[in-house]
Structure 1
């Protein structure tokens, strides 16, 4: 008698296994006695502001905060999100129908295809791309057509290279600027071309703007919803995780086209009861603080300093890396190995060997798709001193020194 199968076949489609592999490599390196400098996962190493933490603490002590969160009537956070969108981007939104609160933007990204599409439908995704993008399609039974993001095109998709028949089949196109993992940025002119193309083929544009407050060198990443009429054709994810150091709180929102926002809200109402009310209170305070203190440094300022430190230190060690314009990541072409190799090394092998010999964790580019081969992603989630030490160790590695 055969054993029952208690594992869905779709689990094998939920993105790369490399993240799990990297976790094993890290444990093995730590067990060998190495001091680990983890530049792998992009989790902020700083807390929210003292005022936000105070707001969270006070709300958590209230006795009326422990019922199910108000998934349908919880307008205060959505109103704050609408106020912030107007303040930051000049975008007017109806908080009742054009915003839905999420357990972080990944929650919404994971469920969006299920709310918008039927099995057998198709969507256009970037390659490389954040793994939940393709995983969400696998869960929904939606076909994925990948658009390569390459350096020669400024890591922008060639919209005209996608055949018209695929545009006509697509339910939505998903893009992410500033980009994870690539850190590329897009301007409003690109979004205008994208919207024009999408309108002609009746395709919804889904934009993931999780890194809106993390631009460098004066860069202020725009919202696609700033373009007149975009709300008829687009939705946009926002997150408080990275820009407001609230990753563990799990709060974000989707804004834009009311039909698409409503579809996700309806699905979510059948899955969970929403975000813990004290976390919503903290989110309200974080957005209010940002609006009332426009001259306060954004999260991007810290990562800009760290970017400068790491790029300069790697350059001194013989690894020339392009400086990103935004996010908390450096997308780096593989280092020039200055010692004999038995064969060309993949991003996976270089990442594994680097960790094994130096204790420095980076993520191989192939974790984000086939176009990521030849690169590694480095997260700027350690202090400047630790980043300098990481660069020193990497320098020894690429020179073949112990």
Structure 2
């Protein structure tokens, strides 16, 4: 049979990490025992009370039916309370909140809701690759905007405003920014909101990292007038250690929530109720939870700094999030070359910055989602001379 894939998959390759994990699997079969410092998948468990809620609720006989497309009122109210407590943002739990089966899925929902063939979306370079993939799958066209260290990893709004924005409907932003770790600020969000209003562009802010090694979590919706021009995605994957649970949220104006729901309600049939109730518990946790989590990440980050020093990389200690973004030494061709050198010679995988866009070619990214002992072993391997046998290799 000659079955052809749809044209919408043209130009959409397999996700980089999907390919690389297969390569690492093959190296492990050869006995290499690769240390993977590439992916931001939390290795720590959720709070015990969150797991307890899931266990107790799952044992009940009346929780296994289809659920509301808009999510449980318990979860929506927890999201509203979370936004008020941590971001100082008032949202209506009945109209301004939409629980998601993962915020990554929400990226696709937004693109499918608003983009027609020929429409454009502004995509950060470097930035999360899913933004561009979702835009293309929805039939839209990507228009990159540059983020550079020289401009403190912020958009150059003046330069961007001088380009042709006539077909641009969406702008994807992500602060704290992944992969660069650039922190959010009220001043930056005010500029973004003003830009969106001036050019009639819907701002889509992806905000999963605001609690990781960051003392000042901020929502774009805290800026005056933001709800008129912005949607925000958030997630329990990172700050609640619930990546595999697939729980996210979208917050914004009632009209936008209703528009996205028209698409989403045709894509899934709601989320398992015990997961929603456990997520509500996770959202109610106090500062002690985040302080304990960040104490672990802070200790790990110090080891990553030492590893980067060995690789002669430069990094900014003001960055936040669960990764460290670093500039490679001038002796290296690009981040891909350094990543491969470390992988094949030291049996340690680090992410080349170029997978996030051309402006990331001179960088690498290291995840903090590895235990202290694993990071110490990676340090030993990096320090080992090229001809010495590596522990665990």
* Interval of TM-score (by shorter of Structure 1 and Structure 2): over 0.9
Q: 2:111 aligns with which of 103, 113, 125?
A: 113
Q: 1:327 aligns with which of 317, 321, 332?
A: 321
Which range moved further: 368-377 or 67-76? 67-76
Q: Is the contact made by 1:41 and 1:379 (CA closer than 8 Å) also made in structure 2?
A: yes
- Report the Cα distance in structure 2 between the residues aligned to 1:35 and 1:335, rounded to whole angstroms: 27
What TM-score, normalized by structure 1, do the two folds share?
A: 0.90
- Report the Cα distance in structure 2 between the residues aligned to 1:335 and 1:117, rounded to whole angstroms: 41
Q: 1:367 aligns with which of 347, 351, 355?
A: 355
Alignment match, 2:294: 300
Deviation (angstroms), 1:300: 3.1
Alignment match, 1:288: 284
Alignment match, 1:352: 340
Task: From the superposition, tell whether residues 400 and 13 of structure 1 become closer, same or farther in structure 2 (CA, over 3 Å).
Answer: farther
Alignment match, 1:340: none
Give matches, 1:238-317, under 5 Å.
Answer: 238-290=234-286, 297=291, 299-315=293-309
Q: What are the Cα deviations for residues 202-261 of structure 1, in whole angstroms up to 9, with x where unaligned?
A: 111111110111134xx3131111112211111111100000001111001000122222
- Report the Cα distance in structure 2 between the residues aligned to 1:394 and 1:110, rounded to whole angstroms: 39
Query: How many corresponding residue pairs?
Result: 389
Q: Is the contact made by 1:52 and 1:282 (CA closer than 8 Å) also made in structure 2?
A: yes
Matched, 1:166 2:164: yes
Alignment gaps of 5+ in structure 2: none
- Report the Cα distance in structure 1 between the residues aligned to 2:346 and 2:310, rounded to whole angstroms: 17
Q: What are the Cα deviations for residues 254-302 of structure 1, in whole angstroms up to 9, with x where unaligned?
A: 0012222221112110110122111101101111223xx5676253332
- Report the Cα distance in structure 2 between the residues aligned to 1:361 and 1:350, rounded to whole angstroms: 10
Task: From the superposition, tell whether residues 42 and 394 of structure 1 become closer, same or farther in structure 2 (CA, over 3 Å).
Answer: same
Deviation (angstroms), 1:61: 0.8
SS of equivalent to 1:63? coil
Alignment match, 2:47: 49
Task: From the superposition, tell whether residues 17 and 242 of structure 1 become closer, same or farther in structure 2 (CA, over 3 Å).
Answer: closer
Q: 1:235 aligns with which of 217, 231, 237?
A: 231
- Report the Cα distance in structure 1 between the residues aligned to 2:288 and 2:63, rounded to whole angstroms: 30
Q: Is the contact made by 1:310 and 1:388 (CA closer than 8 Å) also made in structure 2?
A: no
- Report the Cα distance in structure 2 between the residues aligned to 1:25 and 1:73, rounded to whole angstroms: 39
Deviation (angstroms), 1:71: 1.4
- Report the Cα distance in structure 1 between the residues aligned to 2:292 and 2:12, rounded to whole angstroms: 33
What TM-score, normalized by structure 2, do the two folds share?
A: 0.92
Task: From the superposition, tell whether residues 21 and 334 of structure 1 become closer, same or farther in structure 2 (CA, over 3 Å).
Answer: farther
Task: From the superposition, tell whether residues 97 and 4 of structure 1 become closer, same or farther in structure 2 (CA, over 3 Å).
Answer: same
Task: From the superposition, tell whether residues 311 and 328 of structure 1 become closer, same or farther in structure 2 (CA, over 3 Å).
Answer: same
Alignment match, 1:341: none
Q: Is the contact made by 1:25 and 1:356 (CA closer than 8 Å) also made in structure 2?
A: no
Alignment gaps of 5+ in structure 1: 338-343
Give matches, 1:216-231, under 5 Å.
Answer: 216=214, 219-231=215-227
- Report the Cα distance in structure 2 between the residues aligned to 1:133 and 1:373, rounded to whole angstroms: 18
Q: Is the contact made by 2:126 and 2:356 (CA closer than 8 Å) also made in structure 1?
A: yes
Task: From the superposition, tell whether residues 370 and 296 of structure 1 become closer, same or farther in structure 2 (CA, over 3 Å).
Answer: closer
SS of equivalent to 1:155? coil
